[in-house]
Amino acid sequence: MADFKNEFSWSYSRDNLFQECKREYYYNYYGSWGGWEKNKADEITRTLYVLKNLQNRWQWKGSAVHDEIERILKELVSTGKVTPLEKSKSRVTEIMRNDFRSSRDGLYWNKNGSLRNEPALFEHEYRPEIPDQIWKRNYEEVILCLENFYKSSVIEEISGLPKEVVCSIESMTGSYFSFNTELYYVKLDLAYSMEDRIKIYDWKTGSGDADELQFLIYALYALEELDFDLDKISVTELNLFENYTKVYSFTPEQIKFAREYINNSIENMKSYLSDPQENEAIMSNFPRTEDRKICELCKFQKICFDLD
Ligand code: SF4
């Protein structure tokens, strides 16, 4: 694999990790860099890289739902046909079964190259005693989310739309801010335009309130990168677990807040770097959180306290 440089970029999830624990942020974005080369990376880098790619069961549930909806929508947009719900459920069941087995057998430790799509569950690494009912409930919640997706208006809305108006189905997009020189990444679950309006969807698969900042960043992206007027941008949160929708629109003051927030976040992240120009970091500059509850759920817990 060709060498490539670790370039700085900003994203909502990166900011979240930075808030949670500076050391976790370091392991995730710097310490694990290059660890995909199983036979070349040193042991610590390799371990950090493998651990970085673990997902807990709630994240796995979210990924299973997001990936299946992506398949359904892509099929719908390209062929005009709606995948029957029963077919979708069988497909996701098969995928989850295979992923579970692969993760349980720890195959992710053996794979060379990117582990981004490799099944690797936090619970198999750290909590092998998790009872079967918990895994079963997790699976049933995936099915519930899919059933609620089919009951929602989304399939009907997308059916018959020309392909060109669909701006995103789970596409990760890198763009530059108008107010900062850094690259940032946004991933919209679904976005489509209707004349001068854009409708952005975000699927949620758990309970609890969504973070409005995430939706505000979607609106900022639609405003700056896709050139929609602010009053023509809406973000719809579709909670597939609790089966409700909530629509958000944003004011110029909120956009101003988002810009300031992002500028501060970038400045803060860079202030921890040993060389901000080259995006170089030294581990000892990134302190561990003192909140041990965060550590209990952290992917790096098995190695963190052995390092300096
Ligand atoms: S184990 Fe705790 S201190 Fe270490 S990286 Fe994780 S959250 Fe931070």
Confidence (pLDDT) at 243: 96
Please report the atom of ligand 1 found closest to the CA of residue 295: 2
* Proportion of the chain above pLDDT 90, given as a percent: 93
Determine the atom of ligand 1 nearest the C-alpha atom of 21. 8
What pLDDT sits at residue 160? 83
pLDDT band at 173 (very low <50, low <70, confident <90, very high): confident
Determine the distance separating the centroid of ligand 1 and the alpha carbon of 272, expressed in angstroms.
Answer: 17
The structure tokens 């029963």 sit at 86
As a whole number, mean pLDDT of residues 172-195 equals: 93
What average pLDDT score do residues 72-79 get?
95
308 alpha carbon – ligand 1 mean position (Å): 12
Please check whether residue 143 is in contact with residue 89, taking contact to mean a CB–CB distance below 8 angstroms: yes
* C-alpha to C-alpha distance for 136 and 47, rounded to whole angstroms: 29
Widest pairwise Cα distance in the chain: 58
Kindly give the distance from the C-alpha atom of residue 190 to the centroid of ligand 1, in angstroms, as a whole number. 33
pLDDT on residue 209: 84
Question: Cα–Cα distance between 62 and 189 in angstroms, integer?
Answer: 12
pLDDT tens digits, one per residue of 298-308: 999 999 999 98
Beta bridge partners of 191: 168, 200
Whose alpha carbon is nearest atom 3 of ligand 1?
Answer: 288
Average pLDDT of the chain to the nearest whole number: 96
Q: How far away, in angstroms, is 105 Cα from ligand 1 center?
A: 25
Cβ distance 124 to 104 under 8 Å?
yes
CA nearest ligand 1 atom 7, residue: 295
Distance (angstroms) between ligand 1 centre and the Cα of 208 equals 24
Ligand 1 atom with least separation from CA of 294: 7
Tell me which of 300, 302, 307 to substitute to probe ligand 1's pocket, judged by most ligand atoms within 8 Å of the beta carbon.
Answer: 300
Secondary structure of residue 285 in the 3-state scheme? helix
pLDDT for the residue numbered 305:
96
pLDDT at 19: 97
CA–CA gap between residue 198 and residue 192 (Å, rounded): 6
In the chain, pLDDT over 70 holds for what percent of residues? 99
Choose one of 291, 298, 302, 307 to mutate for the ligand 1 pocket test, by most ligand atoms within 8 angstroms of C-beta.
Answer: 298
The number of residues in the chain equals 308
Decide if pLDDT at 2 tops 70: no
Q: Does the pLDDT at position 56 exceed 70?
A: yes
Could you read off the pLDDT of 138-164 as tens digits, one per residue?
999 999 999 999 999 999 999 989 989
Q: Which atom of ligand 1 is nearest to the CA of 26?
A: 5
Q: How confident is the model at residue 1 (pLDDT cuts 50, 70, 90)?
A: very low
Where are the extended beta strands (E) located within 53-210? 166-176, 183-194, 197-204
pLDDT, tens digit, for every residue of 242-285?
A: 999 999 999 999 999 999 999 999 999 999 999 999 999 999 99
> What number does the ligand 1 atom closest to the CA of 298 have?
6
Q: How far is the CA of 300 from the centre of ligand 1 (A)?
A: 6
- Residue 275: what pLDDT? 97
Cβ burial 257-281 (10 Å sphere, 16+ → b, else e): ebbeebeebbeebeebbeeeeebeb
How many A from CA of 116 to the centre of ligand 1?
Answer: 21
Q: Which residue has the least CA distance to atom 5 on ligand 1?
A: 24
Task: For ligand 1, pick from 23, 54, 56 the residue to mutate: most ligand atoms within 8 Å of CB.
Answer: 23
Model pLDDT for residues 3-45, shown as the tens digit of each residue: 689 999 999 999 999 999 999 999 999 999 999 999 999 999 9
> Mean pLDDT across the stretch 51-77?
97
CA dihedral 286, 291, 297, 303 (to 10 degrees): 40
What is the pLDDT confidence band of residue 128, given thresholds at 50, 70 and 90?
confident
Q: What is the pTM of this model?
A: 0.94
Nearest atom, ligand 1, residue 20 CA: 7
pLDDT exceeds cutoff 50 at 177: yes
- Residue 260: per-residue pLDDT: 97
Where do the domains of the chain lie, and which CATH numbers do they carry?
11-155+292-304 (no CATH), 162-250 (3.90.320.10)
According to the model, what pLDDT value does residue 3 have? 66
Residue 147 burial class via C-beta count within 10 angstroms: exposed 0-12, middle 13-18, buried 19 and up: middle
CA of 32 from ligand 1 middle (Å) equals: 14
Rounded to an integer, what distance in angstroms lies between the CA atom of residue 65 and that of residue 180?
Answer: 34
- Looking at the DSSP bridge assignments, the partners of residue 169 are 190
